[in-house]
Structures are given as structure tokens and as C-alpha cells.
């Protein structure tokens, strides 16, 4: 996701705090906690380095010394030493995971929670909460099967007339794959990123789904033909060539899809795609709009190495909140955007 500095700030309710306000907050409320958390960070850092050295030593032993060692010693002793090394490394990884999880949890409760309470009291924040799997499925944005579903950093609130919530999600599928030597487990990423949902307070009778378009963008008219074969009558033809190069739209009902995707609304979605500088997915189901934004890194995380939390980190946390809440302004969810465009909504 692009650096979220240019988010819309039309609502004073979610006004971005000034740099001076952030500095004061950091000095008075965050810095006193940093020293205690920093000790835990350094402990996690030292433990990470220890585990890394153990792994490096084990790999070196295996690659360089196993042939000489195995030829001159009892095979049972050799096997025992290798097994012991594996157990030690395994326990080290488990301990590292527990330490890191505890450190991250304390950081989110002591730093991120305080930040939200101070500058966004209207937002509810649950550090280890996330959007439900039912809503993820209802969005119809990702139809692949999954068997691992988790997330973090759940926010909820109200902006104008729009109730909304969002969180980071990590959705995966673990599947068995046959290999020459037997079977192995492969991890398939279904979706990792930010998942946003808002209530329009108006009902959509059918589903309209907007996804990134790779086929037409790469293959032009040939790609459009491939899409028509794949989606059939669900494929929606629109009158904006630029939009159709960026997105593919499918819908249960063509009339309602055009009722939603007015020229002005398509322009807003294009601008959002450009501002985010990454792929975005949007759907309209029942009375809700869903937006999914794939991310390469987590948004509200402490540092393990270096400074645990700096002014720059706080600024980025604030900008991330502003960006996501700003989706309501970017898409004009608070406005009656789908009325008086010459097309009546379909009746059920």
C-alpha cells in the first residue's frame, strides 16, 4: 500500500493529529513505557541471534563435518547428536515464538491502544480481534477454499451514517502435495492484507464484484474474450475503457451493477487504486461494501531490531488509520451516491 499521507480528511471526527500533538503524546505517554518494553525487545533480539547461531552451527556441522564424523565414530552416537541438535533448535524456535508473541501483544496494548484512545476515541480497537470468516466469505471476493483463518488489529466505528469495521487478515490453505519422496504440506496464500467492511444502510438485491484485471490489461481484446468465456453472462461491460483495463466486474444482475457503477463512482474507484498504489478488490453484497487490500507487511507492529517505536512509527500508525477510515470519504459511502442517475434499481 502506498504511503498513506494523502487520505481524505473531510470529517473533523477523524481529524489527523498534528505533529506537535504526536510529539507531546510520545513524550508524555509512550516514552515512559519504552524502556520496559525495550528490555523485552533486547531479550527477544538476543534470543533471535542465539537461535540463528544455533541454526548456522547445525547447518555447518551437517554440510562440512558429517562425512568425517560418521566414518570415525559409532553411528548411534552420531545419530543421537544430530537428533539432540534438532530438538534444541526446535525448542529454541518455540521459545522465540512465545517471546515474540508476548512482546507484540504488550506493545499493541500499551502503545497502539493508547494511541487510538487518545486521538480516535470513537474507534473501538481490539488488538487480537479480526473480521469474521462469515463476512470474508459473504464478500465473494476470494472464492478459493481455505482452512487457516486468522487476523489481528480489529477496528470498528461510525463515520457519518456509515458503520464500519476492518482488520488485517491472514487466510491460507494447507494442502498435501505428492512428491517423489512421499508427501509434503504446501501453504497457499488465499489473502493477506487489510479487509474493510461498511454498511451502506441501503440494500443491494444482487452481488456486484470488482477485481483487479490482469487478462485484459495484458492481452487487450483477446483477454476480454477469455473473460467472457470464463464468466459468461456475469461479466459486466462498462463504458469506461480505462476502468475496464484496471478491473474486471462481474454481477448477478447487469442492471444493478450499472446502477452502482456510475461514471462518477468508477472514477472514485480508479483514483483509490492509484492512491493506494496496489491492487484493490471491492464488492457490494446485501447492504455492505467490502474492500480488500493485499499488504506485504503488517501495519501496527513493533520493531524487534533497532528502536522499538519512534515518532516515525507513530506517524505511520496514524496515517494507516486515516487511510482506512478515509475509504468512506474516497468512495463517498456517506452520500446517496446511487440515486438519480437515470437507472432505477432492480426489484427483487
E strand segments, the chain: 124-126, 148-159, 162-179, 182-199, 208-212, 247-251, 281-285, 288-294
**Domain end among 121, 150, 185:** 121
In a domain, 188, yes or no: yes
Residue 271 and residue 189 in one domain: yes
Bridge partners of residue 156, in order along the sequence: 124, 165
> Domain range for residue 33?
12-121
Q: What does the pLDDT read at residue 14? A: 76
Angle CA 233–239–243, to nearest 5: 90
Statement to judge: residues 28 and 146 lie in one domain: no
CA dist 36 and 81 (Å) reads 39
Which pLDDT tens digit goes with each residue over 59-103? Answer: 666 555 555 555 555 566 556 656 666 666 565 555 555 456 667
Task: Compute φ and ψ for 148, nearest 5 degrees.
Answer: -135, 115
Q: Which three cell numbers stand for residue 296?
A: 506485504
Tell me the per-residue pLDDT of 186-244, one tens digit each, with 9 for 90 and over.
899 999 999 999 987 777 889 999 999 875 555 555 556 667 666 778 888 888 888 98
Predicted TM-score of the model (pTM)? 0.76
Is the domain of 300 the same as that of 276? yes
Tens digit of pLDDT for each residue in 109-165?
Answer: 888 999 999 999 999 999 999 999 999 999 999 989 999 999 999 999 988 778 999
Q: Does one domain contain both 241 and 262?
A: yes
Q: Does residue 228 form part of some domain?
A: yes
Q: Is 96 in the same domain as 137?
A: no
**E strand or H helix at 53:** helix 31-60
- CB within 8 A of 192, min separation 6: which ones? 169, 170, 171, 294, 295
d(CA 28, CA 20): 12
Pick from 222, 277, 225: nearest CA to 246: 277
Strand partners, 247: 212
DSSP 169-219: EEEEEEEEEEETTEEEEEEEEEEEEEEEEEE-SS--SS-EEEEE--HHHHH
- The dihedral built from the CA positions of residue 315, 317, 323 and 325, taken in this order, carries a sign that is negative
Residues 58 and 172 in one domain: no
Asked if residue 112 belongs to a domain, the reply is: yes
| Structure confidence at residue 77 (pLDDT) | 59
Decide if 165 is inside a domain. Answer: yes
pLDDT at position 340: 36
Which of 81, 106, 121 represents a domain boundary (last residue)?
Answer: 121
pLDDT-derived band at 337 (thresholds 50, 70, 90) equals very low
The answer to whether residue 5 sits within a structural domain is no
Domain boundary among 121, 138, 168: 121
* 289 vs 275, more confident: 289
Based on the domain organization, do 141 and 261 belong to the same domain? yes
Domain membership of residue 4 (yes or no) is no
Is 166 found in the same domain as 106?
Answer: no
Helices 31-60 + 75-107 axis angle, to 10: 160
Strands 182-199 and 288-294: antiparallel
Closest to 299 (Cα-Cα) out of 272, 264, 324: 324
Looking from the CA of 277 toward its CB, the CA atoms found within 13 Å total 8
Instruction: Give the pLDDT confidence score for residue 185 in this predicted structure.
Output: 84
Average pLDDT value for residue range 161-175 = 92
236 backbone dihedrals φ, ψ, rounded to 5°: -100, 125
If asked whether residues 102 and 174 sit together in one domain, one would say no
Examine the domain organization and report whether 151 and 200 are in the same domain: yes
Q: Is residue 18 part of a domain?
A: yes
pLDDT (tens digit, 9 = 90+) per residue, 16-54? Answer: 888 899 889 888 888 777 766 666 666 666 666 676 676
Domain count, the chain: 2
pLDDT over 80 at 12, yes or no: no
Cell matching residue 24: 507531546
For residue 326, tell me if it sits in a domain: yes
Q: Do 98 and 152 fall into the same domain? A: no
Look at residue 3 and tell me whether its pLDDT is greater than 50: no
Q: 90 and 49, same structural domain?
A: yes
Amino acid at each position: 500500500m502506498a504511503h498513506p499521507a494523502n487520505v481524505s480528511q473531510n470529517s473533523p471526527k477523524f481529524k489527523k493529529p498534528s505533529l506537535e500533538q504526536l510529539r507531546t503524546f510520545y513524550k508524555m505517554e509512550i516514552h515512559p513505557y519504552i524502556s520496559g518494553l525495550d528490555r523485552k525487545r533486547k531479550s527477544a533480539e538476543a534470543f533471535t541471534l542465539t537461535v540463528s547461531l544455533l541454526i548456522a552451527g547445525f547447518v555447518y556441522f551437517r554440510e562440512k563435518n558429517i562425512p568425517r564424523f560418521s566414518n570415525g565414530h559409532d553411528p548411534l552416537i552420531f545419530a543421537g547428536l544430530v537428533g539432540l541438535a534438532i530438538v534444541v533448535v526446535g525448542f529454541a524456535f518455540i521459545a522465540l515464538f512465545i517471546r515474540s508473541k508476548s512482546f507484540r501483544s504488550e506493545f499493541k496494548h500499551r502503545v497502539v491502544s493508547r494511541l487510538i484512545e487518545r486521538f480516535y476515541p470513537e474507534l473501538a480497537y481490539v488488538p487480537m480481534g479480526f473480521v469474521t470468516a462469515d463476512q470474508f466469505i459473504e464478500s465473494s471476493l476470494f472464492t478459493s477454499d481455505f482452512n487457516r483463518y486468522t487476523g489481528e488489529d480489529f477496528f470498528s466505528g461510525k463515520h457519518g451514517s456509515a458503520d464500519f469495521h476492518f482488520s488485517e487478515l491472514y487466510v491460507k490453505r494447507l494442502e498435501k502435495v505428492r512428491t517423489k519422496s512421499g508427501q509434503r504440506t504446501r501453504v497457499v496464500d488465499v489473502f493477506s492484507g487489510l479487509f474493510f467492511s461498511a454498511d451502506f444502510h441501503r440494500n443491494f438485491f444482487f452481488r456486484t464484484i470488482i477485481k483487479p484485471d490482469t487478462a485484459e490489461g495484458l492481452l487487450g481484446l483477446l483477454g476480454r474474450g477469455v473473460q467472457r468465456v470464463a464468466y459468461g453472462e456475469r461479466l459486466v461491460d462498462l463504458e469506461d475503457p480505462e476502468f475496464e483495463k484496471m478491473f474486471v466486474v462481474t454481477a448477478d444482475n447487469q442492471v444493478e451493477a450499472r446502477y452502482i457503477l456510475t461514471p462518477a463512482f468508477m472514477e472514485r474507484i480508479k483514483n483509490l487504486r492509484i492512491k493506494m498504489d496496489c491492487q484493490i478488490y471491492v464488492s457490494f453484497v446485501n447492504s455492505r461494501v467490502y474492500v480488500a487490500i493485499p499488504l506485504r507487511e503488517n501495519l501496527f507492529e513493533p520493531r524487534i531490531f533497532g528502536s522499538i517505536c519512534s515518532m516515525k512509527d507513530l506517524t505511520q500508525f496514524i496515517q494507516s488509520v486515516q487511510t482506512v477510515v478515509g475509504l468512506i470519504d474516497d468512495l463517498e459511502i456517506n452520500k446517496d451516491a446511487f440515486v438519480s442517475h437515470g437507472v432505477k434499481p432492480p426489484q427483487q
